[in-house]
Amino acid sequence: MSIAFAATYNPRGEIPRLTRLYPQLQAAYTHLIFSLPPTASPQEIEQVRALPDAQVLVNQDWSHGRYNALKAAFDTVADHLHYVDLDRLIRWVETRPDEWQQTLRRIEATDCLLIGRTEAAWATHPQVMIQVEKIINSTFSYFLGHEYDFGSGSKGFSRHAVALILANTQPGNALGTDVEWPILLHRAGFKLDDILVDGLDWEIPDQYQDHAADRERQRQVAVEYDAEVNNWMRRVDDTVNVFQAGLAALQRELVKA
């Protein structure tokens, strides 16, 4: 069995940590795809490209990043694929490597694994994220008949599942893929499995730090994050985009892969 790694990554000071952890990623994944936004600096792009065996995509539009990462990983002919937001993965591997490895084994055993957050992981997030994602999770879990956490930035797929996703989607609504991809697979008859992990706790406090933030820093940054009205406005806008993608996926005529 083989797992390709498909990561979107907007560097915010994590590259030294990524470099330290990179041998663990090389040992776990047969292919390593990094999908970067057009705003990444030339220096950051070259630093990621310098990593051994790294395949780096620089997207013309940031919203194409998840789709392009998924497609590039599919083109590697790996048996399974792990889509992940890289800043979250860096924290996960740094703080809970055993849990991450156990999750990879679960990915190899299913067509679709929704990797969600435990209550302890959720408790590290600011209230704005908790409240808006609660609406997303409750709504689309209702439609799928099971309680899922859609927005953790980490999901596992088989090749068959990815083929179905690519046949029925286009790049554009990046955040909407959180619900779009599992909804399409559910409608196509794929079984959705899920797992809750501690390692997908809040990663933003790690930015521009030389190591993963502790619980106290997470708490402090969460209070500051919630105090900014613009963060609430942006998260509400993001939620609208996710709803649009999810509702469209519930009604779209499916194309066979």
pLDDT digits (tens, 9 = 90+) for 145-199: 999 999 999 999 999 999 999 999 999 999 999 999 999 999 999 999 999 999 9
What confidence category does residue 1 fall into, taking pLDDT thresholds of 50, 70 and 90?
Answer: confident
Q: How far apart are CA 47 and CA 45, in angstroms?
A: 5
Q: Does residue 90 belong to any structural domain of this protein?
A: yes
pLDDT for res 257: 80
* Domain extent for 82: 3-251
Phi and psi at 80, nearest 5°, equal: -135, 165
Q: Give the total number of structural domains in the chain.
A: 1
Q: In this predicted structure, what is the pLDDT of residue 14?
A: 97
Cβ neighbours of residue 136 closer than 8 Å, sequence gap 6 or more: 150, 151, 178, 179, 239, 242, 243, 246
CATH at residue 32: 3.90.550.10
- The CA–CA distances, whole Å, from 225 to 126, 173, 221 equal 7, 24, 6
Beta bridge partners of 58: 36
What is the mean predicted confidence (pLDDT) over 28-44? 97
| Residue 256 included in any domain | no
pLDDT in tens, 209-247: 999 999 999 999 999 999 999 999 999 999 999 999 999
- When pLDDT is averaged across residues 66-73 and rounded to a whole number, the result is 98
In a domain, 257, yes or no: no
- When the pLDDT of each residue in the chain is averaged and rounded to a whole number, the result is 97
Measured N-to-C along each axis, helices 15-28 and 42-49 cross at an angle, to the nearest 10 degrees, of 30
Residue 192: its pLDDT value, please?
98
| Overall residue count recorded for the chain in this entry | 257
